[in-house]
Amino acid sequence: MTKQPDTRPSVRRHAVANGVKALPQIKNIIAVASGKGGVGKSTVAVNLALALHSLGASVGLLDADIYGPSQPHMLGVSHKPIIKDDKSIEPIVIHGLQTMSIGYLINADTPAVWRGPMVSGALQQMLSSTNWHDLDYLLIDLPPGTGDIQLTLAQKVPVCGAVMVTTPQDIALLDVTKAISMFERVKVPILGIIENMSMHTCSNCGQQEHIFGSDGGVNLAAAHKTCVLGSLPLARRIRELSDAGQPLVISEPDSAHAQIFLDIARNLAAVIAKLPRNLNVPLGNLVIEEN
């Protein structure tokens, strides 16, 4: 029987920030951050992960919001992961994504009443104890703010860069600017800006309105010498499918909104491909190609 060729895109392993030791089973770790709650960061993170998977990559998603994990609900996951020998955890695979969240391990109505060091430890344990399998990309959905989780990620997680999610609104931009400045201070590259809720199209008349202002993401990217990976509309359908645990990219892959996520995923992959290579981890028998 002739072995079929691997048609997955070849993804290189790229350098990580601050010289943190890379994980052999994960090529590239990307933080998805905002600095502010309510900008749709988690919705963007799950659909971006699914978009990267739709393009042929092997993708994982780690929900790092210990106090308010939302990925289990957004992905429609209600069961718990398999724990092996009380040491390692099998990621829950849903829609082709390898996923992990503290929400899988505690009851949905149980609050995580933990101090900062415990929260940072939980992030490191979920990352290191999960049996990730040959990932091209692992997206880490960070909580809002610039606290312990973000500092732990910069200092102890082999992240290659951060994607910032914002709305065009000035109030959101203030907090996202602080988060970008924090990442710059701890030498984590900013891979680009995703502007969410950039405009709304009336379902009755088709008129477009910039409800939260315009050009906020563009101006933010220019100020910090990075790029805009894409702009997403304020759309009821995205919210409805997220609330139903049926993310847009997997539920309506041919929709115009899903195509925007796919374009953002392509842009992100292109930005990562231009980062310096990491040659310190053996690549095994991978075939690396570059257009």
Domain boundaries, the chain: 25-273
Structure tokens at 104: 């899988």
At residue 8, the pLDDT reads 59
At residue 284, the pLDDT reads 41
Burial tier of 99 (Cβ tally within 10 Å: 0-12, 13-18, 19+): buried
Residue 83's DSSP bridge partners are 89
- How many CB atoms within 10 Å of residue 76? 13
pLDDT digits (tens, 9 = 90+) for 26-50: 999 999 999 888 899 999 999 999 9
Contact 157, 124 (CB under 8 A): yes
pLDDT digits (tens, 9 = 90+) for 239-272: 999 999 999 999 999 999 999 999 999 999 999 9
pLDDT (mean) for 89-114: 84
Contact 123, 152 (CB under 8 A): yes
Contact 14, 276 (CB under 8 A): yes
pLDDT digits (tens, 9 = 90+) for 170-202: 888 999 999 999 999 999 999 999 999 988 777
Highest mean pLDDT among 145-149, 189-193, 217-221: 189-193
Contact 234, 198 (CB under 8 A): yes
At residue 290, the pLDDT reads 45
- Strand ranges across the sheet with 97-101: 92-94, 97-101, 59-63, 135-141, 26-33, 161-166, 190-195, 228-231
At residue 176, the pLDDT reads 93
Residue 193's DSSP bridge partners are 164, 228
Q: Please give the C-alpha separations between residue 139 and each of 86, 133, 148, in angstroms, as whole numbers.
A: 25, 14, 18
Superfamily of domain 25-273: P-loop containing nucleotide triphosphate hydrolases (3.40.50.300)
